[in-house]
Amino acid sequence: MKRKTLATLVAAVCLVALAGALPAQAAVISLGIIQRGSESLTYGYGEFDLLPTLAAGLQLRSDEVFVVSLWQGAGNGIYLEVEFDAAGANKELLELGVWRRVPVANTVDLSGWLGVQSRLGGPSIWVKANAELAFRLTNTAGVFFGGSATLLKKDSVTATYIGVGHYF
């Protein structure tokens, strides 16, 4: 487990370096812990605005999974995520859905996204619901609390996470 945590931290440092190199209009890098059942994972996440209404995200987790995402819209829109298993277990997931961010207070945002998900090449489709509260502590620092639930699936999965982030 220590090796996976170290790998996630190294990946997060690489994300920070990438954030500085990209001509992005806005970016956030976050690190945190995911609790999924009895399993605890660490993660690193980076999101960069490519255009005024298009952002790209990359998440790296200590279970050797990484997720690439595209978010279209300003305040709400559609998203696409592809999850890859770096261990080569052929567990790639594709998710397509809608998202919305609502300012709750000056420094607090509530985001939610709901999508259909399926294994690439698989016959089954299910629903995944996600929510996140983002608290901006300063102009450059924030704390994130979130959760997700997989619905309409034989083996439902729920997860919660907490993270700290840096805004660029």
Give me the DSSP letters along 53-108.
TEEEEEEEETTSEEEEEEEEESSEEEEEEEEEETT--S--EEEEEEEEEEEEETTE
The one-letter amino acid code at 45 reads Y
Q: What is the pLDDT of residues 125-159, one digit of tens each?
A: 999 999 999 999 999 999 999 999 999 888 888 99
Q: How far apart are CA 159 and CA 37, in angstroms?
A: 7
Residue type, 145: F
Does domain 2-167 sit in CATH 3.40.50.300? no
Predicted local distance difference test score (pLDDT) of residue 91: 75
Give me the pLDDT at residue 13, please.
53
Sign of CA dihedral 134, 34, 47, 10: positive
Q: Is the pLDDT of residue 19 over 60?
A: no
Domain boundaries, given as residue ranges, for the chain? 2-167
Mind listing the pLDDT tens digit for each residue in 99-131? 999 999 999 999 999 999 998 888 889 999 999
Give dist(CA 167, CA 135) in Å, integer: 12
CA dist 15 to 11, 19, 47, 66, 122, Å? 6, 6, 9, 13, 31
pTM: 0.82
